[in-house]
Amino acid sequence: MSSLPLPLFPLPTVLFPGQVLPLYVFEERYRALLRRVQASGEPFGVVWIERSSRDSAAPLHERVSPVGTLAHVVQTEQHEDGTSSILVVGGERFRIAGLSFGEPYLMASAELWPLPRPAQSAAEYTEQCAAALLAGMQRSWPERAAVLRQEAPADPLLLASYAASLLCALSADRAAPACNVALAAPTLLERLELLLAALPATPATDSAALH
């Protein structure tokens, strides 16, 4: 499998394919990364920071997930102080095959790792699991049940990304580990099952992050 050079933007949250994510770019190394991808038109990679610098003295490259998602910049607003507000959309999933350190930011040799569509024999159960995930989301966030019914994508793959984004919005510290495991799931069915298991067992009380 061929690999591609990919600048990395480690984050405390997990980006899924199809997910829209706003970012504020202020560190000089990531300003340089942004200039690079703006000049080339290529995506960068978002990987989850598995352990924060508060919890581990290990260097950053030893604390990031080996699985991430391509981030395509769709909107950029540069501020007078040199920082930028950007909007990215998650693209294909990838695996890190190697890292290099010649730039201010981490560079990966990455292999695209698309999630296979379910086999025909598993399609019906995958649809059932997607329906169970949507029902579980409505139980977890009853105040948003009507919005969820309207906004949630019908496609199971996109529904998984939608559910993961809500989980991380609710509590990145609590949900991010489960979301990262779901991102690395080998099949869509397993991803849906993992996200269903990660939903709050009781209705969430702190819904401010979801509005």
What digits encode the pLDDT tens for the residues 9-41? 999 999 999 999 999 999 999 999 999 999 999
**The one-letter amino acid at 77:** E
Tokens 């930028």 correspond to: 84
Q: Is the pLDDT of residue 206 over 50?
A: no
Q: Is the pLDDT of residue 1 over 90?
A: no
Write down the pLDDT at residue 171. Answer: 65
Domain co-membership, 108 together with 20: yes
Write down the pLDDT at residue 46. Answer: 98
Write down the pLDDT at residue 31. Answer: 98
Q: Which domain holds residue 144?
A: 120-210
Domain co-membership, 17 together with 106: yes
The residue from 112, 144, 161 where one domain ends is: 112
What digits encode the pLDDT tens for the residues 148-203? 989 999 999 999 999 988 888 776 667 889 999 999 999 999 999 999 999 887 66
Domain co-membership, 163 together with 82: no
- Judge whether 164 and 178 are in contact, CB under 8 Å: no
Domain co-membership, 201 together with 172: yes
Q: Say which CATH number the domain at 8 has.
A: 2.30.130.40
Domain co-membership, 10 together with 97: yes
Tokens 């995506």 correspond to: 43
Please state, in angstroms and as integers, the Cα–Cα distance from residue 40 to each residue in 30, 37, 91, 130, 141, following that order. 15, 5, 17, 37, 41
Write down the pLDDT at residue 60. Answer: 83
Phi, psi angle pair for 66, to nearest 5°: -80, 0
Q: What sign results for the dihedral spanned by CA atoms 126, 129, 133, 135?
A: positive
Residue range 119-127: mean pLDDT, rounded: 85
Cβ neighbourhood burial of 40 (10 Å; 0-12, 13-18, 19+): exposed
Structural domain count, the chain: 2
The residue from 112, 138, 160 where one domain ends is: 112
Domain co-membership, 15 together with 101: yes
Domain co-membership, 80 together with 147: no
